[in-house]
A and B are shown apart, each in its own frame.
Chain A
Amino acid sequence: MKATDPVLELAAARPFFDQSALPNTRFDLRLMAGECALVVTHDADRATALSDLCSGMLDLRDGAVRFMGYNWSELGHEQTYALRGRIGRLPQRGAWIGMLRTHINILLPLLHHTREPLDSLVDQAVELARQVGLPGLPIGRPEAMPEADLMRAACVRAFLGEPRLLLLEHSISADSDELITPLLNLLTRALDRGAAAICFTRDSRLWRTQAFPLAHHLHLLEDGLNPVRSVREKSRQRDATERERTD
């Protein structure tokens, strides 16, 4: 992958309609290293489906999805799985493997994909856990943990191992204000390191109040991904249109 290549590129990608909750349309998006896209959607299934599309989990009718310069549809079985190990996801549901304890759940992707010593992985995970407000690495069963702690543990899992792409499907709401600051700190550090991120939200006001630098602000609607225009942009465009008319 060259430095000028996007980390993630959706090039007129149209998944099969019956395979996902995404609308039957083409998706275009280019995310360079250090860029973050905010996608506003009220449909949780669509957020998951778009994350699946970015992770190469949906078959394409036409177009291409490239991650780190690799076209998902041209990769072999092993390469596909290995490349997915470079993606950190903060999923909405079904996120915890019930037969494993929480700390194994957190460490599992890196234990599977890397040969890094266990102690080193545990140290990294403990450090991240402290940053999101946990006293250490949670070792209980996921179903026995409070929802808020589970959310923090999910953040640890998503950011562990310096992923190149972050897909934060879980919509951060105003009532999780204890988590928003550490999460944005982690996100900022990841972006500075050269990762790209897509954050899904139901309400973008929270992101506006945090004044987080966004490369793309998009709406996921029936006709695909549409840029969200601010009030100032809208009035500027209206003025331009009126000027054209009067000329």
Chain B
Amino acid sequence: MSGLATAGQPHGTPTPQPPPAAPRRGDAPAWQRWLAATGHFTKQRISFLCMLAAASWGVLREAVRPISWRRTVRHEFRITMRQATIGGLATAFVTASLTGFAMVSQALYWLGVAGQAELAGSLLVTVLVRELTPLLVGLILLGRSGMLTVTEFGMLKAGGQVRTMISQGIDPFLLLVMPRTLAMSLSGFTLGMLFAAVALVMGYIVSAALGTTQDSLWLFLDKVVSAMTVRDYMVIPAKLFAIGYLVGLSSCLTGLTASTDDDLASLMPRGFVRGILVIMVTSILLTLTV
């Protein structure tokens, strides 16, 4: 074969060598592959975080412009508000009642036993209203509305319907992402306020029925409200709005960034994990910083 290749060449001409084969991915040493995998994983996580930050700013920027609030956008906002708030009401009531039953009545009982009943207000404000309520409301929003959004948007993206919208001159960010994010933010605050009120009232009813508290309902509520500081009045609404906002946005983005390889089996867990992380991180950051 080499003789045939050099047959027409003059003597002394070096035989052309085939170019060296490019190294294949599998040929790389194990440490390089490990490094590449780590980089890929990190890049993926950071890119979602950057996207979340950029889209957060985008939603706020669009929300203050009157032209963004076209009738289609207002309609989407109303539908999401109804779905997330009215739809989530029953779940929030049941969860709040159980929390009140399990936590408030127990707190009142054990603080009474320990002779620290006067701390009930500040304990309930710190643990229940400031920490637990935003977390549980975030989880309710994520489960009832966030996962629905992930599925709906994932299907829209995979079915080419997002592209259809773009071809009709409808910006999916304006029509879908902005109203859903804002509606879920408002819904988070509404559900959170109801959740805290129901949990406190339910806890009081159970405690009164068991005889662990002798106060009237108004006195009990007055103790809770008196225990709230200015910081609490800032942190609690901030947490509820922020968690609703970020759960909505993270769900929208997870759905809209689905690739053609994605199906529900891959999309749903991703949306859930991102949602949980967003809830936890937001809650912790706001507790630490405000």
* Chain A interface residues (CB < 8 Å from chain B): 51-52, 55, 57, 77, 80-87, 89, 91, 93-99, 108-109, 111-113, 115
Contacts and interface: CB of A to CB of B under 8 A. Distances in A.
B167 A57 contact: yes
Contacts of B166: 57, 81, 84
B163 interface: yes
B164 interface: yes
7 contacts: A81-B166, A86-B169, A87-B167, A98-B155, A111-B71, A112-B72, A112-B175
A31 to B, nearest CB: 18
B159 interface: yes
A94 B169 contact: no
A55 B170 CA distance: 13
Given A98-B161, A111-B72, A112-B72, A85 B156 contact: no
A194 to B, nearest CB: 19
B25 interface: no
B169 A82 contact: yes
B211 interface: no
A87 B72 CA distance: 19
B24 interface: no
B222 interface: no
B118 interface: no
Q: Which residue among B164, B166, B169 has the maximum number of chain A CB atoms within 10 Å of its CB?
A: B169
Contacts of B70: 111-112
B156 A99 contact: yes
B82 to A, nearest CB: 14
A55 B161 contact: no
A93 B160 contact: yes
A89 B167 contact: yes
B165 interface: yes
Given A96-B161, A111-B71, A52 B156 contact: no
A81 B167 contact: no
B161 A83 contact: no
B167 A84 contact: yes
Interface residues of B, number: 19
Contacts of A113: 169
Determine chain B's interface SS by DSSP, over half rule. helix
Interface of B: 70-72, 152, 155-156, 159-161, 163-171, 175
B72 A55 contact: no
A5 B248 CA distance: 46
A91 B159 CA distance: 13
A52 B70 CA distance: 25
Nearest to A99: B152
B282 to A, nearest CB: 28
Contacts of A80: 169
A97 B161 contact: yes
A52 B169 CA distance: 12
Given A98-B159, A111-B72, A112-B72, A87 B169 contact: yes
A84 B168 contact: yes
Contacts of B152: 99
Contacts of A87: 167, 169
Contacts of B160: 93-94
Contacts of A51: 167
B263 to A, nearest CB: 15
Contacts of A89: 167-168
B156 A81 contact: no
Contacts of B168: 84-85, 89, 108-109, 112
B29 to A, nearest CB: 32
A80 B169 CA distance: 7
A94 B163 contact: yes
Contacts of B71: 111-112, 115
Given A89-B168, A91-B164, 9 more contacts: A80-B169, A81-B170, A85-B169, A94-B164, A108-B170, A109-B170, A111-B71, A111-B72, A112-B169
A96 B165 CA distance: 9
A32 to B, nearest CB: 23
B170 A94 contact: no
Contacts of B169: 80-87, 109, 112-113
A108 B168 CA distance: 9
B17 to A, nearest CB: 33
A51 B171 CA distance: 18
A86 to B, nearest CB: 8
Given A99-B152, A111-B71, A91 B175 contact: no
